[in-house]
Amino acid sequence: MSDVFEVDPAQTNIASEVLAAAARALAHGSLLVLPTETVYGIACRPDEPSATERVFAAKRRPHGLNLPVLAAAADLAWELGVPDDRAARLAEAFWPGPLTMVLPRSSRSRPWELGDRRESIALRVPDLALTSSLLRRAGPMAATSANVSGEPPLSHRNELVATFGQSVAVYLVLARGIAPPHGHPSTVVDLTGEELRVLRQGPLSEERVRAMVARL
């Protein structure tokens, strides 16, 4: 039986039993649905291959699309991916926030089974109190939008539970049917090469991202 918890997005102090249930599910290798400031995500421990495989299965996501990883802060993200000056500048400007950066993997994250692309990792520091609190408690999470791959992100409790059912152990949903603030997935930039590439346009425009990098 899945647990469903409603959380008020205006609260900065999330109930300890909610965080404990979510952290316990992650520690046991189970799946979690949680809100971010962009869209709902389906998440798991990034270092547990059976858990990441269940995320791929639940979403029907091709393994050629690696699972991104959420971290509580930039310095913790840099333990998982190797930043350059561009990444540091973008993190200073836009983290926490709706920007995902693809970087070379660090030695710590290289063994993780996040998809077919073994040399890179997509990292983000989210900007929602609930998500940040859980990341500080449980550590980094592999997390991708909570939807069937190729379909629009889901934004309400009933849709989420109907789609993922018992494959998810814990659902953290925003109270009163509130949807995540942005309602669109994050902007994704690839910094693994000499030229910055925008892989997905999101709440942050390509112009803002490139303008920030141009200041280096």
Is the pLDDT score of 10 beyond 70? no
**Over residues 155-160, mean pLDDT:** 93
Task: Give 178-197 pLDDT, tens digit per residue.
Answer: 888 888 999 999 999 999 99
Q: Quick one: pLDDT band at residue 12, thresholds 50, 70, 90?
A: low
What is the architecture of the domain spanning 3-83+100-183?
Alpha-Beta Complex (3.90)
Residue 179: its pLDDT value, please? 84
User: Given the DSSP bridges, would you call strands 197-200 and 40-44 parallel, antiparallel or unpaired?
Assistant: unpaired
Residue 50: its pLDDT value, please? 98
53 Rama class: left (phi>0) / alpha (psi -120 to 50) / beta: alpha
Is the pLDDT score of 158 beyond 70? yes
Taking the C-alpha atoms of residue 25 and residue 93, their distance in angstroms, rounded to an integer, is 33
**Over residues 77-102, mean pLDDT:** 99
Q: Is 130 helix (H, G, I), strand (E, B) or coil?
A: helix
**Over residues 37-64, mean pLDDT:** 98
Is the pLDDT score of 21 beyond 90? yes
Q: How far is CA 210 from the centre of its chain?
A: 23
Taking the C-alpha atoms of residue 139 and residue 19, their distance in angstroms, rounded to an integer, is 12
Q: Is 193 helix (H, G, I), strand (E, B) or coil?
A: coil
Percentage of the chain beyond pLDDT 70 is: 98
Residue 15: its pLDDT value, please? 79
The answer to whether the beta carbons of residues 192 and 208 sit under 8 Å apart is: no
Single-letter code of the amino acid located at 145:
S
Is the pLDDT score of 171 beyond 80? yes
| Among 137, 109, 113, residue whose Cα is nearest residue 123 | 109
3-state secondary structure 11-78: CCCCCHHHHHHHHHHHHCCCCEEEECCCCEEEEECCCCHHHHHHHHHHHCCCCCCCCCEECCCHHHHC
Residue 189: its pLDDT value, please? 99
Whole-prediction pTM: 0.96
Taking the C-alpha atoms of residue 216 and residue 58, their distance in angstroms, rounded to an integer, is 41
Residue 8: its pLDDT value, please? 83
The domain spans of the chain are 3-83+100-183
Q: What is the DSSP letter of 167?
A: G
CB atoms inside a 10 Å sphere around CB 166: 9
The answer to whether the beta carbons of residues 163 and 175 sit under 8 Å apart is: no
Task: Give 111-120 pLDDT, tens digit per residue.
Answer: 999 999 999 9
**Over residues 126-143, mean pLDDT:** 95
Instruction: Give the phi and the psi of residue 171 in degrees, each rounded to 5.
Output: -110, 125
Q: Quick one: pLDDT band at residue 124, thresholds 50, 70, 90?
A: very high
